[in-house]
Chains A and B, each alone.
Chain A
């Protein structure tokens, strides 16, 4: 894991709880009362007209759908080795709770991916410090 070749995020103070949650295999979403959960983490609610700074963190179910996707044939780390070659799926996942997030779909045949297919989260511990939220078909 130490030699993970993909790009890694650097958390900011505002996003630290999100990345800490993933490390514990929990998908934590910043949540506004009454607007609900949103993505990505900000210290305020981005819903137009709200701008409340009263934000809690709630755990998401980890279930969602493929909103849209592409199948990249580019050898981009970590999808650039003999064990882990392209093509691979980059997908926008619409979570059951509503927000959408970029991710990868873990699927044997990328071309079997479909818009609106049901998926669930897979926690990919790419380094000792970083867990990436990925998804697989249900």
Chain B
């Protein structure tokens, strides 16, 4: 299993120029702009690309739009973790010689809906067995497992609220973060929040209040990967893929085998650890997909950072900083730095957020993060679900 370790590197990573409300850009234009920015970051051109991986678009759509004819394509589109899976597949494809330069693209007009096809017909299993019960998108389905976890382990809404507050504290250090103080004034809901603010915010779908939910945005992101040998020639330090995993469990959340454990997280995480030859104790920095506050809690448990059922108290632990400020477990200054870009909760969430988690891992490993840079990050994990804990992708990255 360790044959993929350190064989391929990410040499380019970037988002679209802007994130948020971009009604002047279509889904495919967001793919293209992020591709341009990631190639610029790598110092490469589109002519170098011979492998294309994307989600939320058929690879041919993106290839035609960009005007390229790749000799390797992967259209794995299983939700937000598709891009972690693309990284894993790109590693294998580059090692096999199927391509030399793999471009992974993401673009979603998640807020403005410019050319966003709607999936799932009324004859699909979801259309027959879930949609008729007034299911209304992710807030009414990603929430489904939560109360079972509360019931079995005593997890509380107060516990979850700490994750939102910690993640907002990171957003306040990131000029790109939609809900951070740089981009959104406190009177419009931006800037610091407390766990009590989360509990006081409007109820969306119990147990999730508004501030338990991610933002809804337009945007995109892209990655460029090449072999380890080739990666040495780039201006920026390469970020090596040490390990990777993936899994597909259920699809409908009602059919999740155990609502307190994401089977996909476990399968994907174990493969990532095994291929990297590492365990949770070796990870310096975590990017855990946070569509809702509960989502990263499940990751911390199922990926072995905290025993099953203890995620609530773990994230709710706080201490007081030198100036009397609250330091959250997963926030700036905390001992479990997680979602340091401000997360889906406060930075950006297009619908398939996983791409942005990977970009932040790359930037932290390169030391490019300015005020939010975590000291001594050598190994970072980016992990996410697809659908409602349905699929999963995990990658372990390193700067050495």
Contacts and interface: CB of A to CB of B under 8 A. Distances in A.
B122 A70 contact: no
B136 A92 contact: no
Interface string A1-14: 00000111111100
Interface stretch (A27-35, A49-57, A96-104): A96-104
B185 interface: no
A67 interface: yes
A40 B255 CA distance: 9
Contacts of A88: 134
Contacts of B254: 92, 100-102
Contacts of A104: 133-134
A115 B134 contact: no
A70 B206 contact: yes
Given A11-B128, A73-B203, A90-B133, A67 B259 contact: yes
A10 B123 contact: yes
Contacts of B127: 7, 9-10
Given A9-B128, A90-B144, A102-B129, A71 B134 contact: no
Interface in A103-132: 103-104, 110-111, 115-116, 126, 130, 132
A68 B146 CA distance: 8
Given A68-B148, A72-B134, A72-B140, A100 B206 contact: no
Nearest to A78: B134
Contacts of A36: none
B129 A7 contact: no
B58 interface: no
A87 B133 contact: no
Interface string B121-133: 1110101111111
A15 B128 contact: yes
B148 A115 contact: yes
Given A73-B204, A90-B135, A68 B122 contact: no
A15 B123 CA distance: 9
B259 A9 contact: no
A16 to B, nearest CB: 11
Nearest to B139: A74
A69 B150 CA distance: 11
A31 to B, nearest CB: 17
Contacts of A92: 144, 253-254, 259
A130 B129 CA distance: 13
A79 interface: yes
Interface residues of A, number: 40
Nearest to A74: B136
B141 to A, nearest CB: 8
A92 B145 CA distance: 9
A76 interface: yes
B207 interface: yes
Contacts of A72: 134, 136, 139-140, 205-206
A75 to B, nearest CB: 9
Nearest to B133: A104
Contacts of B206: 70-73, 87, 110-111
Given A7-B122, A11-B128, A40-B129, A76 B148 contact: no
B311 to A, nearest CB: 17
Nearest to B209: A73
B205 A73 contact: yes
Interface in B303-345: none
A101 B256 CA distance: 10
B248 to A, nearest CB: 14
Given A90-B140, A102-B135, A132-B133, A9 B204 contact: no
B205 A6 contact: no
A74 B145 CA distance: 18
A76 B134 contact: yes
A72 B140 CA distance: 6
16 contacts: A7-B122, A7-B127, A7-B131, A7-B132, A10-B123, A11-B123, A70-B144, A70-B147, A72-B139, A72-B140, A88-B134, A90-B135, A92-B144, A92-B254, A102-B129, A102-B253
**Top 3 A-B pairs, shortest CB-CB distance:** A71-B206, A68-B148, A102-B254
Given A68-B148, A101-B254, 20 more contacts: A6-B132, A9-B122, A9-B123, A10-B122, A11-B128, A39-B129, A68-B146, A68-B147, A68-B151, A70-B144, A72-B139, A74-B139, A74-B140, A76-B140, A90-B140, A100-B254, A102-B135, A102-B253, A132-B132, A132-B133
Interface of A: 6-12, 15, 19, 39-40, 67-74, 76-79, 87-88, 90, 92, 100-104, 110-111, 115-116, 126, 130, 132, 134
